[in-house]
Structure 1
């Protein structure tokens, strides 16, 4: 063997192990990466009551807080119905309170005055009866006159008892049946009031949580049918990632596992948590698969980004997902 050939063999023996170690190190440090995209689960805000759009209080691209008003429909009829329901409720409550306290003080005072008059008349009739009985015993008057005085005194006593009973009745509340019937009227008026307030509130929808205004679907002055969305919101928690992994990698993914996310212009440090792994393959080969075609099976995986990461992602945006 020539000297040149001997040097070539020696160099190859030294180079091959070095290349093998380098390739092994690169393959061991490379993380699996998969392509996917961002998807948004939108919240369409609508009113169950039709009406003209009076005011649109948000615009596309705006971030709104929870309970922030979004829009308002014309509500003249609902405002009038709410006022009517309030007055009916107040009237029913006042009637119930009146039944519970009995008659008014001036009415009781009239009965008290009549009772005082009747007692005075009774005292006068009693005194006259005593005089007539004394005259009858002395023989000065006839028996008939005494009987008349005795009957007059009984009439005056009955009138006193009548007014005393009427005064007690005036001080009593209404009968239990009347109070129960009026209480039912109050409950019915309260239900009508709540219904009127609900219909008025439906003309002024608000955001259920902090969200991005993705789109507005009507302009001020347009007629909005009942149930037709006016504002489309995208809460940060409704942003998710969808990507596909091959069949060998699907077995290692479980809900709750963290993944790294990368995209153009998003910066670094994006992460998400796997929330769903499909049980069946999303795509299958056109023939019965074998050991050679199993690699064509892919499974859908969904992941929810962290709130900080979700604010930097947009629906439809392509992303690259790596498994740490």
Structure 2
């Protein structure tokens, strides 16, 4: 009988220790994952439209880099594209009308010369048949006539070629130059548009990392923005509490400056233990395992929270008990 009360006391302490973590809650804090807004191009910071602590809407202007150097590159790319297009059009049309007219005039002259030499050859043959001219004169007339006829064929071929477009390989090369010039223009236009950066979402301006007049390297953040949707609660629970907390479950959050407790939804539970001292694995030491848990409040609630703010987190059982008590009241 003298051991009844000590045994009852030890049993009560053990039961309290097992249930204390969930009833008393777990310590945690508010954390925010900032968005670092940067330009993919370099340049001097010309102006900045926000200050630290400002609340901005999505698509609001944040900062502008100097556009003048890029404007010159853009104009050069436009000129190169126009030049490549003009070259392609010239190859597709063939020679100019004035050049074709010159070849046509040469063709008419060649036909007239061929007609004259044909008549002279006919006369030379008649004279030679009547022994009125020498054989050399006849041969000369035949050579002149043959040369004139070949000249007509040559100029006719030149005229036909002049009316055609360039060779297929030349046209393909010209088209490739137009495509390359268009790509350079598209790149220059995109780089010009990236000189002005806007907010990807609404949120709080946490930091302004550069001031007007400073040079900003490509990809270097200029503004740190914290949207409410990226604010979460981080807390650690012992291994024994994992049976009551899983992804999708809800926890109750309390903080000193909060008007009233609010609900957050668990989205992540670390698969490995953290911040645990070395010990021998045993049933008695299971409570030394601590697992990171992350829960997200609603966007409306998150907008009122501050990163680094300490909070108390209560599990789903405690939450259910409070809801039951409120219903009874």
Q: 1:150-169 alignment to 2 at 5 Å?
A: 150-169=142-161
1:199 to partner: Cα distance: 4.2
1:260–1:270: 8 Å Cα contact kept in structure 2? yes
CA gap 1:157/1:56 in 2 versus in 1, 3 angstroms: same
- Counterpart of 1:65 (choices 50, 58, 82) is 58
Q: 1:98-109 alignment to 2 at 5 Å?
A: 98-109=90-101
72-81 vs 183-192, greater mean Cα deviation: 183-192
Task: Provide the rounded CA distance (Å) in 1 between the counterparts of 2:161 and 2:153.
Answer: 12
1:64–1:212: 8 Å Cα contact kept in structure 2? no
- Counterpart of 2:103 (choices 91, 111, 128) is 111
1:64–1:213: 8 Å Cα contact kept in structure 2? no
Matched with 1:310 is 302
1:200 to partner: Cα distance: 3.5
Unaligned ranges ≥5, structure 1: 1-26
1:137 to partner: Cα distance: 4.3
Q: 1:215-294 alignment to 2 at 5 Å?
A: 215-263=207-255, 266=258, 270-284=262-276
2:58–2:198: 8 Å Cα contact kept in structure 1? no
1:40–1:234: 8 Å Cα contact kept in structure 2? yes
2:55–2:202: 8 Å Cα contact kept in structure 1? no
1:315 to partner: Cα distance: 1.7
Matched with 2:119 is 127
Task: Indicate the SS of the match to 2:200.
Answer: coil
1:285–1:293: 8 Å Cα contact kept in structure 2? no
CA gap 1:171/1:211 in 2 versus in 1, 3 angstroms: farther
1:40 to partner: Cα distance: 0.6
CA gap 1:146/1:202 in 2 versus in 1, 3 angstroms: same
For residues 64-103 of structure 1, the C-alpha deviation after alignment (integer angstroms, 9 at most, x for no partner) is 314x442122232222122222322332333233334322
2:45–2:212: 8 Å Cα contact kept in structure 1? yes
- Counterpart of 1:79 (choices 58, 71, 82) is 71
1:255 to partner: Cα distance: 1.5
1:135 to partner: Cα distance: 4.6
CA gap 1:145/1:41 in 2 versus in 1, 3 angstroms: same
Task: Provide the rounded CA distance (Å) in 2 between the counterparts of 1:98 and 1:154.
Answer: 36
1:134 to partner: Cα distance: 3.9
TM-score where L is the length of structure 2: 0.74
Task: Provide the rounded CA distance (Å) in 2 between the counterparts of 1:161 and 1:209.
Answer: 74
Matched with 1:43 is 35
C-alpha RMSD over aligned residues: 3.3
Unaligned ranges ≥5, structure 2: 1-18, 320-329
* Aligned pairs, number: 295
Task: Provide the rounded CA distance (Å) in 2 between the counterparts of 1:311 and 1:74.
Answer: 34
Task: Provide the rounded CA distance (Å) in 2 between the counterparts of 1:139 and 1:149.
Answer: 16
CA gap 1:271/1:164 in 2 versus in 1, 3 angstroms: farther
Matched with 1:6 is none
1:209 to partner: Cα distance: 3.8
For residues 10-63 of structure 1, the C-alpha deviation after alignment (integer angstroms, 9 at most, x for no partner) is xxxxxxxxxxxxxxxxx9xx9774442211111112235443210113333222
TM-score where L is the length of structure 1: 0.75
